[in-house]
Structure 1
Amino acid sequence: MPASLAAHRPPLPVRLWHTLRRWLGGGAQPPYIEAMDAMDAGIVLYDAQDRLVLCNRNFRALYPGLTHMLVPGRTFEEMLREAASLGMIPEAQGDLEAFIAERVRQHRNPGIPLLRQMADGRWRRITEQRLPDGSLLAFSIDVSELVAKEKALDEARTQAQQAHERLEDAIEALSDGFVLYDADDRLVVCNQRYRETYQLSAPAIRPGTRFEDILRYGLARGQYPAAEGREMEWLEERLYRHRHADQPILQELPGNRWLRIEERITRLGGVAGVRVDVTELVHREQQLKQINARLAESRAQLHAVIGTAMSAIVTLDENGQVLSANPAATTIFGWPEDELVGQPLRTLVPADAGPDPLALLTARGPEARAGRAPPQDIRARHRDGRSVTVQLALSRLDTGGQARFVALFTDLSEREAYAQALRDANAQLAHLSETDALTGIANRRRFDRALHEEWQRCGRHGLPLALLLIDVDHFKRYNDSRGHPMGDECLRAIAQILRNCVHRAGDLVARYGGEEFALLLPHTGEAEAMAIALACIEAVEQAELPHPDSPLAPHVTLSIGVASAVHVGDTRAAALLDAADSAVYAAKRAGRRRAVMAE
């Protein structure tokens, strides 16, 4: 029983006792005896030898079977033993002698008031005090109502503690950092993940500390790299965003770590916040920003999807009925909390999404023993009927004999969008890596890969592969006379002309290097290859690209080496390339402006 009740000690009416003694000494029946009998308290007086002197009616009523002992001269120990033997003292059950010895000791050396339960189940507070002449005066009053209230208060404290523990368990189950500040911006609670996130500020992250004080502590220790050199301005901005939490915040931490901060104002005026580590996503964004201007659109798409959604926390009873939900549940599922409470879990996780998640934690399996089911990606259902891809992590809490469940839903929509954007960006980068930046046609890298692939393919099918190596005649003199910008324009024009000279999807036009081009023609024999080479020469001639310094013609001309072969045995693609290269040199030696077939 709480010591607070026993420790309460009402004033002792010592003056009343002195008056009684004077009356008793005179041999008359004092009127105070009737007053004592009328009092709602047990009053008893022992002499210096602990023998009964007198007791009032209330005291005698406490021990109805002890009337024969309540006569002057009986010692306290005699009356105590008799009461215990008659079962009037519940505490005496068991080791009687030990109880008698301890109670006699307390009686002879009274201290703080005693709290005792009577045989009828009611409680009395007993106050004993030695008087100057050695006698002892004892009072006992009924405190059953106070005891009952104290018990109720203890039970209320226990329930409050259990609720607090359930909340802490739910918060600690979050994979992200969680924090709650009250209406005065003082820290109420946060999980371990939150403290780990702000390691430099951790000593200041204590309940009751103001948000601003935590920020200042971190600023002084380099917790926020973005604030360097502008600490007060940064602090003002951060405090404003904290109290006007309407947009996510991207925050940098030491070591190029990044957080996405989501904060919401609670109904009581506090602020609840989630910190999500998006370092990997930000690092990917930083890498993508290093790509040249041709990837600007991809960078914008990736930047739009970088981030993470808040987790929806839904608590459930043992039957899977929703007990509570946080604001993120509205964001993800479209259900206001007051409408979601009381709904079954199947409202969010339909039957076609898979087995009942609660079954894992109620069956006799490892998940049930651990009280936690492994996370799983599922197709949940929005209020409007559409599907929402989420990750569900489910935990079981057993408190007070009742099962409770905490469901953690993480929206995976942004993750899927980001993955698709990254695939698109990688595809575009792969395309750019095999495209000639000047002419827009395939570059040497693409040509080398295609030559190897087509050589292997023609070997499997026994079909010829033709290669045209094309050189622009006297192109150095073109650059010297007209300048390099005009030379670039000329190469772009030639590339477009050559592209128009081939019509099959498998044909490849590439810039081989400098003023050299290559045409790779699968399934093409010598005659057809030579015809395409002559068509290329004629198309360039007809374009009449001016070349005033050419000794061959007033316009640009071409020299082409033609080779065609079938992959037989161990021959390599390099043999076809060497043959075409020899042929183009033969065309140059023969006076240029022509096509020569390799021997």
Structure 2
Amino acid sequence: MVVLQPDSDRGAAKSMNARGFEAISDLATRHLRHIDAEDQFGRLVRLARSIFSAPIAILTLFDGTEHLLQAESGLEPHQAMPDMAFCDFVLHNTTPLMIADARTHTQLCRSSSVRHAPFIRSYCGAPMVDSDGVVIGTIGVFDYEALGADESQMESLVDLSRIAVDELQLKAAKREAEDARRRLFDAIEALPDGFILFDEDDRLAVFNSRMLELYSESAGSLKIGKTFEEIMRETIATGQYRDAEGREEEWLQDRLTRHRNPAGMMEQQTSDGRWLRIYEKKTDTGATVGFRVDITELKLREAELFELATRDSLTGVLTRRAILDDVQREHVRLGRYTSCCSVLIIDVDHFKGVNDIFGHQTGDEALRRICAQAKTTIREADSLGRLGGEEFLVVLPDTDLNGAMITAERLRLEIAALRIACADRKESVSVTVSIGVAEFRKGENPKSLLARGDQCLYQAKLNGRNCVHGDVDEGEWSESLMLRG
């Protein structure tokens, strides 16, 4: 850790070397700074503020010429940003540092942020260093009073900077995986892995050794002269294909149809868990050429990235985007079929007070417990997601307003009965929720539905909280349904 006091900053503002700028430029080229700051970095700066009990925390990326603000916590609307000169010292020294009192600092004492509003007095910052050792940004906290940070706080700040870099690299990995998948579709024809050829009579004519590796459990069935149907019947009997179990004849007929009338690609999972992409094409003479490419790693990577993209890291429920996608899918389904769908918009009552009085660990545990309870209350076909903060959304397919009100009231009572253990205290706390309920109306879009649900939630708050308020079409009902605690 570097602590800058008067006169100890000589040479701190040296220009970054050419390798540093080249690496930063590469980051910019990959568009890593174009992320959702709230989702990716908002929690980090809020945590930094909490660790240091500081009024302001910011996270910036450096594109080679300027600092780009990615996330901030504590800045009031229209409040001036702290001088980026503080961040420059971290950037150029490439080590964590603490400026105990900027008024006595030979350079920063002249900063407008020190001499004028917001009157910054102290700063603790840590560099964001990528896997190549290049500083690509900073995370830091600002205070209006002179302060001193202990070793554990500075170590925590360094940990946060590493998490931020991990987030960036994860995004890069996701983009690279998506690019690799697109390249795979293009390359599969030119660079096939497994190769197989059936002649005009659909008898096996040629195959390579990679086919034997890919279909190891049924390799003995690959005999020159056998028909495709004969080979498939033998391989099904060995249990080679997972999705054929229990419906072997149906699966075989579908596979024969696809083979005889090939149209594009298909994916297949074998009994050992391997995923293969299959491409077949008829030649001008009527023969069938087939390629088999092992895409197991790609499928695993896809599954991991999908889980990261659609699951809230704290509660394990769907993210905002994922749950809103569910609402959209229900809207499309309702346009095709005669059915119904309702939503519950849930907000934890006085949640800020829980965090302020019992701590954020207790608040986080409360959110986890609420979600766990909600999962046991709703059906398997229903979905639960976090809209943000302490607000959640439940989508109830095939459920009208009355059914949704009953579910909401049951959920409200079950949550109110929970006892949340307080971190570092020998006591527990209870929480309540307010719930707004709305049902899709004929021809209504998701935005309108959610707006009505929000209005019901607002009304539930006005009604004293810890209650359920449902939206009712005045043309069908004479008054709103409301269940109170």
Give the TM-score range, shorter chain. 0.3 to 0.5
Q: Which has the higher contact order (CA 8 A, sep 6+)?
A: 2
TM-score, normalised via structure 2 length = 0.38
TM-score, normalised via structure 1 length = 0.31
Q: Which has the larger radius of gyration?
A: 1
